Amino acid sequence: MTRFVRCIVDGEPVYGVIDGEEVAVIDPHPFAIYQQTGRRVPIEGLRLLAPVIPSKIVAVGRNYADHAAELGNEVPTEPLLFLKPSTAVIGPGDPLRLPTDLSDEVSYEGEIAVVIGALISRVTPEVAEKAILGVTCANDVTLRDVQRREKQWARSKGFDGSCPLGPAIATGLDLSAIRVRTSVDGELRQDGVSSQMVFDIPRIVSEISQAMTLLPGDVVLTGSPAGVGLLNPGQRVRVEIDGVGALENPVVDRNAPAT
Ligand code: MG
């Protein structure tokens, strides 16, 4: 298993692979044939960035039966797709800035994110699986009141900061047995396994590729397990996947006066 991270070294964003307590810098990036540059930096104190800035984020709604039920929705008969823009991405440790001017109900949704490694169009689940570079943690942050009010989800799920990603892209995980847990201020709120998905990961990626070409670095959010809930300024929200690490973000009000 390899864990790729993006981080700032000497003021420049670079990719690296985690090796023990260090990051070994690579050139050029995980989506090409790469080499280690020989530069190594301790992870301790390193500022990690979102591991990828995708051309697009394609997300699946209602892909866990228990989560569909908790919001009073039916399980779809084919994957329910929506898009989040690249400007939604923030990284590990970045403040999650609640748009309290738009919404009174901002919800976390801890999810397994897959990062696409190769260009694919109209492929089978078998080919789709081979095109996946690896897995990272995501938070599909949602303005629940806006989502209820509007048919399209561009505002409720696409606002700035609505897609924390990271901390690493882990390769070689068993896609049918990935456990994702979400906690708020240390209290466990969501605990799901990919085996509970309505549509499994290769099927989701295949279905998306029937409609739109996926590019290297594109990110697919695979749906949220049950246990979603609201966030308030001052809290810390954490999404964790074994083998990937923990994506933690402090929650702030973007409209609060600077202190
Ligand atoms: Mg979601």
Q: Where are the domains of the chain?
A: 3-42, 57-253
DSSP state of 86: G
Query: pTM to 2 decimals?
Result: 0.96
Q: How far is the CA of 64 from the centre of ligand 1 (A)?
A: 10
Could you tell me which CATH number the domain at 57-253 has?
Answer: 3.90.850.10
Residue 174 Cα to ligand 1 middle (Å): 21
The pLDDT of residue 69 is: 86
| Helical H segments across 154-232, by residue range | 154-158, 201-211
Tell me what pLDDT residue 71 has.
87
State in Å: Cα 186 to ligand 1 middle.
21
9 C-alpha to center of ligand 1: Å?
33
Residue 104 CA, ligand 1 centroid: distance in Å: 18
- Judge whether residue 101 has pLDDT over 90: yes
- Distance between CA 205 and CA 214 in Å, rounded? 9
Indicate the pairing of strand 3-9 with strand 12-19.
antiparallel
Looking at the predicted structure, is the pLDDT value of residue 247 above 80?
A: yes
Identify the pLDDT of residue 258. 76
Please tell me the distance from the alpha carbon of residue 79 to that of residue 86, in angstroms, as a whole number.
21
Centroid of ligand 1 to alpha carbon of 39 (angstroms) = 38
Indicate the SS3 state at residue 51: coil
Q: How far apart are the CA of 201 and the centre of ligand 1, in A?
A: 14
